[in-house]
Each structure stands twice: as structure tokens, then as C-alpha cells.
Copies of this chain bind each other. A is one copy, B any other.
Amino acid sequence: MPDYQAPVKDMLFVLNELTGLDQIAGLPGFEEATPDLVAAVLEEAAQFASEVIGPVNTIGDASGTRVENGQVFVADEFKVAYQQFVAHGWGGVSQSTGAGGQGLPHTVGLAVEEMWQSASLAWSLCPLLTHGAARAIEMHGDESLRGLVLEKMVSGEWTGAMNLTEAQAGSDLAAIRSQAVADGDGYRITGQKIFITWGDHDMTDNVIHLVLARLPDAPPGVMGLSMFAVPKRQINADGSVGQPNNVTAVSVEHKLGINGSPTCVMAFEKSYGYLIGAPNQGLRCMFTMMNDARLSVGLEGVAISERAYQQALAYAKERVQGRAASQDDAVTIIHHPDVRRMLMTMKSYIEAMRSSAYVTSASLDRAQRETDKAAKAAAQARVDLMTPIVKGWSTEVGQVLTSIGLQIHGGMGYIEETGAAQYLRDGRITTIYEGTTGIQAADLVGRKILRDKGRALRALIADVRSTDAELAEYGKELKVIRAALAVALEDLVSATDWLFANHSRSVDVPGAVSFNLLMLMGTLAGGWQMARAAAAAAAHLSDGNADKGFYEAKIITARFYAEQVMPVVGAYRKAIESGSDTIMALTEDQF
């Protein structure tokens, strides 16, 4: 199986041409993010990903994890890779310098994170969750807690975990039952949590659990949830690791994939904890973690597809089978049009998804650092709108692409040793955790479009529309791309006009159309970035840029996306405009 090689060139193209990284580098605190530094960071990360993380991926899958006396053990190779990760300071690329991080923009951090995810999805979940937990503590924790844990979490010396789900409370956090009672300066937390990714392990001395629980007399529902930091081992006043804190891994799950990462049932029994933020404000803290994590999980759809693509491409270039229509000799299968169709489908979707994720992350950087209030608000509105789309669409498409990657291998793809099946198995979790696609779609339609009265949506539509003039400059070359974008945009306008006209007709309409609208917007948003990429490539070509092959491929790939992928937008529109009637019509017995 070929090693993972990070697509640094494409990443830099997206960062430099599509995210407006030069403007982001002009925001306060991001001055260091010069093109040269960013390129150097990406090159170094690429080397680390391929040399240190990539090689442990199949090992973790084969060895899995085990629990003994409440303690989880992971593959030794995972541990070694993690220790090198910490030693190299990779934990803090985009975390604030105040917390010991490198302080680069999220947009750059996302490109680096994509590499860890591609190299080993299971392994990369540990830094992902640690990063999210550290950010929640940085933003909502008090000074004493920050002083106690933040630096160690940013460096990765200690890891973090998110403890939300309980057996009766999956997507529905209102049903959470874990309890917290005050004890001196802190609290005692009792409860059981399930599906806790990297909830316990033997890679570090301590794990900081962020736990949602209820204080006595808390109101029912989500407004009665508070967030606590509960360390696996108590923390002494000098910051050293103290006694065990009654935080126990009860068991680890036997899963379809991401077998190198422990998914734990965690038990807390009067475990000492620190309140984060105000009482009953746990949901707010959680969303800080969750929104970051949702963008990162959306990125996992890109990352796992990229890894699957690299392996399928290597196989297609090597495997000799059958004759091409134009030749007599047996050829490598990349010569067969249907294999090329599959590879182009993977390549074009991956580029579309990568650009959408990075561009959304650029809005996150702007939302946090813009000094102009209107620009800041507009950026935040764009992040809010796009986060469920990036999460839902990229991971749904990831299912299709990892499956295509396996298909390109023929029978070999079904054999575990080949490795293609692992990407399918690993990637299958991404549409589920951090909120299922259904939850993302409900968030998009309910909060981000209807409750917002379509403001952020209209801003997006206006931005997409303004790209048309840019495309028109390049005439015939981008004609097909321009036409496809215009048609898809009208489909979006029509579908959302329909939604606003009909959502109050039945309470079921928003939920019934939400998935199709999320997929429509994802496909269109991807097509928008592909069109922008094609225009940027055309500009370079007309400047006589030396790298002709790369820029020509950009335009061809964007055209493929326009011709072969974008037409599905019309199908989503028709499904949406059919409404909820047939979706809701059957009685339970009629199913």
C-alpha cells in the first residue's frame, strides 16, 4: 500500500488563491502567516504525516484497543507517534500564543489537520478532541483552571475528551442525567457517558474530560446543563499529576472502523471537577467545542477521501488489465474510461470539498479577528451557515468516495490487506459523530436559514452570483462552468423560495427537506469554489505561468465537476419542492 503524501501543492493553491490568506495575514495577531512561512509549515507537516503518522494507521486498525482494570491501552506505535507529535510542537499550530500555541490562522491549522487525518483518522481524533477541549477551556474557563491545564493541553502533554452522550441521550442532550454537586471550591461529578472517543488511553499522564452534567435544582432540558472539567487524575496545586479521580473506562466498543482509537464507556463516581463558565451555561461551552469539531469532522470527509484517492490512483496506474478501446496490448486500468470517471469523480469532489472547508475556516479567522464590526458579523454568519454544510456534505460525499476507491481495486479492494476497505470503514463514522447528517441538516434549515430569516443565505447567494462576472472574463474556456454554476444557483434560489413559502404549511416541511437542501448547498458551494479555482487558474495561464499542467488540470477538473456532478443539484431541488407529504404519509404499520 502506498504511503500517504500530503497534497501540499493543492492545499497551498486553495490557501493562496481561494481563502484570501493574504488578507487574513493582515488581521491582528496573524502577521506571521506569510506565504513563505505557511508553505514551510505545510511542507514540514507533510513530512511528519507521511513519516511518523501514516505508518501507524494499519497497525492501530489491526491491534485495536483494550481495557484492563478501568485503564485503556492503545497500540504502542500510536503512543510513539503521539509522543513525537508533542515533542515537535504540532499540537499548537493554530492555538493562541497566549496558551503556548503557535498562533497561526485556523485556515492554516486546518490544512495541517487534514494531513493528520489522512495519515491516520483514528490517531488524529486524539489531537482533534484535545484541541477542541483546550479552546473551550481557554474561552470559558476561569483563570485558575486555565493556568492549571491549558498549556499542557495545547502542547498535548495532556489530552482532552468530550463527554456528552449518555445511553438515553444521543442527539437529544436534554435527556442527560449526570449529576454534579458542589464540594469546596469545586464539584463532584457522578454519571456514565458512552461513545467517548479517546476517553481513556495510556499515551499521556492525564486526560481532561469536559463533562456535561446537571447541578442540583438545575432546570430540566438543555438549559440545565453545566460543563465541568474532570481530570482522570487529580491535579496538584503545583500542576503535577496527583491521585486517581474515580474516572474509569468501563469498556471499549467493538466498532466497524477507527479501531486504533478507543471509544469508551466512561464512569465518573464523585470525581472532582471544575466548573467551566457559569452554572447552566454548559451548552454554550459545548458549542464552542462542537462547532470547531464539526468543521474538523467535515474535513475528515475530505481527508479520508484523499487517502482513498491516492491509493486507488496508485493501483490504477499499476494494475494491468484489459485492453483500451484504442489499443491492442493490455493496459493499466487508468486507461479505461470508466476507471477515469471514478478517479475524476474522486479528484473533483475532493478539491471542491477541500476548498469549501478551508474557505469556511477563513471566515472563522475573520469572525474572530476582524476589527470592523460589520465584517466580523458577516464572517460569523457565513461560518454559522457553512459549518453544518461542510460537516454534513463532506462526510456524506466521503462515503461515496471511499466506496469508489475500493471499487477501483476490483476484487482486491474487498481484501483487508489491500487497505482500501479500512478507509471505507474508518470514514463511515464521520456522518454520525459530532451530530449526524440529520442533525446538521436540521441546524442548517432551522437555525441557520429559517430563524435567520434567510439573511446569511442571501449573502451567500449574492457572493456566488458575483463570481459570474469573473468567470465571464475568460469566455469560452470557462463557459460550461459558468453555465452550470448559474443553473445551480437558480435551483438554490427556487428551492429556498419554496421553503420560505411552505415551511409554515406543515411542521414537518423543514425536517423533510433538510437533508436534500444541505446536499444541494454543499454541491453548489463546492461548485462555486471550483469555478473560482478555474478562474484563478485561467488567470495564471494567461499570465504565462510556468506550471501549465497544474493549472490546466484545475480547469479540466472544474469542468468535470460542472458537467458530471453539478446536475444533481436539480434533482435535489425537485425533491425539496415535492415537500413532506409522501415522506410523512405512511402509518407505522404501513412501513
Contacts and interface: CB of A to CB of B under 8 A. Distances in A.
Interface in A241-293: 253-257
A483 to B, nearest CB: 11
A207 to B, nearest CB: 20
Interface string A142-180: 000000000000000000000001001011100100000
Contacts of A508: 325-326, 337
Given A321-B170, A321-B171, A413-B432, A341 B563 contact: no
Interface in A508-545: 508, 510-512, 514-516
B313 A172 contact: no
Contacts of A580: 337
Contacts of A441: 338
A332 to B, nearest CB: 8
A564 interface: yes
Count identical subunits in the complex: 2
A417 interface: yes
Given A170-B321, A411-B165, A433-B411, A567 B571 contact: yes
Contacts of A567: 570-575
Contacts of A416: 254-256
A559 interface: yes
Nearest to A572: B567
Interface string A579-590: 010111111111
A326 B344 CA distance: 45
Nearest to A172: B322
B575 A563 contact: yes
Consensus secondary structure, chain A interface: helix
Interface stretch (A30-38, A45-53, A423-431): A423-431
A578 interface: yes
A325 to B, nearest CB: 4
A313 B587 CA distance: 13
A87 interface: no
Contacts of A553: 586, 590
A414 B550 CA distance: 39
A156 B428 CA distance: 38
Contact of A556 (B336, B340, B433, B585): B585
A305 to B, nearest CB: 14
A358 interface: no
Contacts of A334: 588, 591
A437 interface: yes
A58 interface: no
B347 A512 contact: no
A442 interface: yes
B575 A556 contact: no
A139 interface: no
Contact of A338 (B515, B559, B587): B515
Contact of A410 (B175, B421, B432, B591): B432
A436 B414 contact: no
Contact of A407 (B339, B437, B573): B437
Contact of A344 (B403, B411, B559, B582): B582
A317 interface: yes
Nearest to A587: B549
B582 A560 contact: yes
Nearest to A256: B421
Q: Which of A168, A438, A559 has the most CB of B within 10 A?
A: A438
Contact of A403 (B195, B399, B512): B399
B583 A344 contact: yes
B587 A336 contact: no
A269 to B, nearest CB: 23
Contact of A428 (B194, B323, B324, B406): B406
A396 B582 CA distance: 24
B574 A337 contact: no
Given A256-B415, A341-B583, A567-B570, 5 more contacts: A254-B417, A337-B511, A341-B515, A567-B575, A568-B571
23 contacts: A253-B414, A253-B415, A255-B415, A256-B424, A256-B425, A257-B414, A324-B507, A325-B508, A326-B508, A337-B508, A340-B583, A340-B586, A341-B512, A344-B582, A399-B403, A407-B437, A410-B436, A411-B432, A411-B433, A414-B429, A414-B432, A556-B586, A567-B573
| Closest CB pairs A-B (n = 6) | A337-B511, A325-B507, A563-B578, A567-B571, A567-B574, A337-B512
